[in-house]
Amino acid sequence: MTTTVPASVDDHHHQHDHRPRRSRNRWLWLAFGTIGVAAIFALRAYTGELESVGVPGLTADLLTLATSVIIESLPFVVLGILLSIVVQAWLPDDLLMRYLPQSPVLRRAAISLFGIALPVCECGNVPLARGLILKGFSVPESMTFLLAAPIINPITIVTTHQAFGFDDGILVGRILGGLAIANIVGWLFSLHPQPNAILTGRFAQQCAVGSHGPRQSRTEKSLDIFMRESSVLMPAVFIGSLIAGAIQVAVPRDVLVTLGSNPLWSILAMMALAFVISVCSSVDAFFILPFASTFMPGSIVTFLVFGPIIDIKMLAIMRTTFTAKVLLQLSLVVALMSAFIGLVINYVV
Amino acid sequence: MWSSLQRWWGVILILVAVSATVWLGATQQLVLYIHPRYVVFTVVMAALALVMGVLSLAIRPANTEEAVAPRGWSRVVGGVALLLSGAVALSLVLVPPTTLSSATASQRDIVGSTVGSDSQNVDEVENADDELIASFTVVDWSSLLRQTSDPSFYSNKTADVVGFITASEDDPANIFYLSRFTVTCCAVDAQPTGLAVYAPDWANDFEVDAWVEITGSFEVNPSSRSDLPLVLVPETMTGVERPSEPYLY
């Protein structure tokens, strides 16, 4: 106690004394930032004109595929960070909590429907779910949100409807299947004796610190969240896309497609495809549309339910928040359940 | 040093990624990676992130997180993650944007592809006028070829198509595939489609991956080593620039 109090007082003085210099520094750093971005643009404009930099065919395709995954998911990651900033820095603390039912099961059911109002796919969902934990959601509750929201979000529903209409129960199977998995997984993890133990050390520490850090203005807090989320998520997005691109170049596509007509194998093939491809849930219906004639409808539903929750890029991103053991359990449970949903549809419809 | 690099690394990566995205958007090359319907959304979100990134550099919010110096393995893993993501960031800025190549086309089953299988219907095309037929793409023709291989159907129809060259495995000296990728969401799902072209010794004049425009008609396959019933026999075959929209939608 005696050591911390003087330190914080000192800190306080420190901030006051250097206000003018700090604001001068801001202009300096703004100039640095602008020059830095301009330099990136100049370099890019220069290298963009080059014929080639001597990258051979398959490596060039690997980079093209990785770039494609990054560019496709980036806007959703940014949207997710922005929504997370709104939830953490601009909404009143108890707004979301006030109207939720008391019973844990009903609470999770209500939370699994949150996604209807949030147009974020799975990569944007992780920062949002992290924000919800910091806001006081329990870990299983935010996991329910994390799993349900990418499937129940309005963009996903619209694109799935555009791609498949109401044919073969694909849209209905996707929505109901996603909700069921999210609620059941949330319930399973709520049985864990110490839910906070499933978080990574770094994030659990951040939750414990909470709002006891130095006082910040809302703008500062927003930018702080922006920095923190991007430093956690961007390396994961980059590395996940690189691995996804490499595997796509290495595994011939027709290996998966030849498995397509068998009710059981086509489900496993679809899960493998969803795992490797790593596209966002808001666009994956268009992705799978060309395969619709090759694969059975239940297998398509498996792809559409499994893909938004578990894939290479998602595992890399979720590893920022949950421990490896939890991700393994999660992958196993979700794989079994989505395979089950697919099998039911394959044999019944 | 380590902790401030870790703190700023994400902002650096996101600035690189969105700068590359905005530049692609400004030079109209985003369609090399994503379907045109996502272009506006992508550019708007990238611009927002660009502003946030530069602002956070300017304001440099106080760090609310206690720095923990990583030790042992977590330091190694952190270092590898830093290097890998840095390498990807460099490639985003340094490698000239390009389309997928024939290497991926041949790996994705160019012959059995069922993309756009209903893009044209034999009965409707039977008596179509020349103008409509001249507008047919590689995908339209291969959808027709899947429906009928009756030579008389194609006898009075001249194809005028653009695509890139993918080598054939059956008869590489005389036949190549004139191919295009079809994209429904982004380059990740690009599906190749190809028309078999019979042009003996084509490799003397053109390279694999080169873009060419071919006019010609479909005739019974003269090659004994390939079992395709019909092939496109070119009257003219000229090298062209890569189209500004290289993928079909």
Residue A19 confidence (pLDDT) above 60: no
Site of tokens 């030849």:
A258
Q: How confident is the model at residue A11 (pLDDT cuts 50, 70, 90)?
A: very low
**CA B66 – CA A199 distance, rounded (Å):** 17
Residue A152 confidence (pLDDT) above 50: yes
Query: Which positions 147-186 of A are in contact with B (Cβ < 8 Å)?
Result: none
Q: Is the dihedral of CA A72, B44, A129, A120 positive or negative?
A: negative
Q: What is the pLDDT of residue A5?
A: 41
Query: Which tokens sit at A153?
Result: 């979000």
**CA B65 – CA A205 distance, rounded (Å):** 9
- Say whether residue A252 is in contact with chain B using an 8 A CB cutoff: yes
- Say whether residue A319 is in contact with chain B using an 8 A CB cutoff: no
**CA A4 – CA A299 distance, rounded (Å):** 59
Q: How confident is the model at residue A52 (pLDDT cuts 50, 70, 90)?
A: low
Residue A301 confidence (pLDDT) above 70: yes
Residue A217 confidence (pLDDT) above 60: yes
- Say whether residue A281 is in contact with chain B using an 8 A CB cutoff: no
Closest residue by Cα to residue A280 from A15, A41, A33, A77: A77
Residue B110 confidence (pLDDT) above 80: no
For residue A49, the distance in angstroms to the closest alpha carbon of chain B comes to 7
Name the more confident of B114 and B125: B125
Residue A6 confidence (pLDDT) above 50: no
Nearest to A224 among B9, B64, B102 (CB): B64
Site of tokens 């005028």:
B160
Residue B22 confidence (pLDDT) above 90: yes
Q: What is the pLDDT of residue A10?
A: 43
Query: Which tokens sit at A124?
Result: 């944007």
B241, B242, B244, B249 alpha-carbon torsion, rounded to 10°: 140
Q: Is B15 left (phi over 0), alpha (psi -120 to 50) or beta?
A: alpha
Mean pLDDT value across chain B: 85
Name the more confident of A124 and B191: B191
Percentage helix, strand, coil, to 5, in chain B? 45, 20, 35
Residue A12 confidence (pLDDT) above 70: no
Residue B234 confidence (pLDDT) above 80: yes
Q: What is the pLDDT of residue A293?
A: 67
**CA B49 – CA B10 distance, rounded (Å):** 12
Q: Which long-range contacts (CB under 8 A, 24 or more apart) does A209-215 make?
A: A209/B64, A209/B65, A209/B66, A210/A134, A213/B62, A213/B64, A213/B65, A214/A11, A214/B62, A214/B64
Contact B220, B232 (CB under 8 A): no
Compare all CA atoms of chain B with the CA of A288 and give the residue at the minimum distance.
B189
Name the more confident of A69 and A247: A69
- Say whether residue A45 is in contact with chain B using an 8 A CB cutoff: yes
Contact B105, B142 (CB under 8 A): no
The whole-number average pLDDT for the span A288-312 is 83
For residue A1, the distance in angstroms to the closest alpha carbon of chain B comes to 18
**CA A63 – CA A57 distance, rounded (Å):** 10
A170-190 helix and A104-112 helix, angle to the nearest 10 degrees: 140
Report the percentage of chain A scoring pLDDT > 70: 84
Report the percentage of chain B scoring pLDDT > 90: 31
Whether residue B7 and residue A60 make contact (CB cut-off 8 A), yes or no, is: no
The whole-number average pLDDT for the span A107-128 is 81
Question: Using one digit for the tens of pLDDT, what is the confidence trace for A81-91?
Answer: 888 788 778 87
Q: Determine which helix (DSSP H) or strand (DSSP E) holds A337, and give its type and residue range.
A: helix A324-348
Cα distances (angstroms) measured from residue A32 to each of A231, B14, B55: 20, 16, 11
Most confident of A255-264, A311-320, B35-44, B222-231: B35-44
- The residues pairing with B158 across neighbouring beta strands, listed in sequence order, are none
For residue A176, the distance in angstroms to the closest alpha carbon of chain B comes to 24
Question: Using one digit for the tens of pLDDT, what is the confidence trace for A163-213?
Answer: 787 877 889 999 999 999 999 999 999 988 887 788 887 788 777 765 545
Query: Which tokens sit at B85?
Result: 């993501």
Q: What is the pLDDT of residue A14?
A: 45
Find all residues with CB under 8 Å of A182, minimum gap 6, and list them: A108, A112, A143, A144, A145, A146, A147, A148, A151
Supply the pTM of this predicted model: 0.78
Contacts of A63 in chain B (CB under 8 A): 91, 95
Query: Which positions 109-128 of B are in contact with A (Cβ < 8 Å)?
Result: 109, 112, 114-115, 117
- Say whether residue B210 is in contact with chain A using an 8 A CB cutoff: no
Contacts of A42 in chain B (CB under 8 A): none
Contact A213, B64 (CB under 8 A): yes
Query: Which tokens sit at B189?
Result: 């799902």
- Say whether residue B44 is in contact with chain A using an 8 A CB cutoff: yes
Amino acid identity of residue B151, one-letter, is: P
Contact A243, A278 (CB under 8 A): no
The whole-number average pLDDT for the span A254-258 is 67
Whether residue A75 and residue B46 make contact (CB cut-off 8 A), yes or no, is: yes
Q: What is the pLDDT of residue B120?
A: 74
Residue A16 confidence (pLDDT) above 70: no
Compare all CA atoms of chain A with the CA of B38 and give the residue at the minimum distance.
A72
The whole-number average pLDDT for the span B17-31 is 93
Residue A290 confidence (pLDDT) above 70: no
For residue B150, the distance in angstroms to the closest alpha carbon of chain A comes to 25
Cα distances (angstroms) measured from residue A125 to each of A48, A120, A197, A221, B137: 33, 6, 21, 20, 40
Find all residues with CB under 8 Å of A186, minimum gap 6, and list them: A108, A111, A112, A140, A141, A143, A144, A147
Query: Which tokens sit at B68?
Result: 């923990």
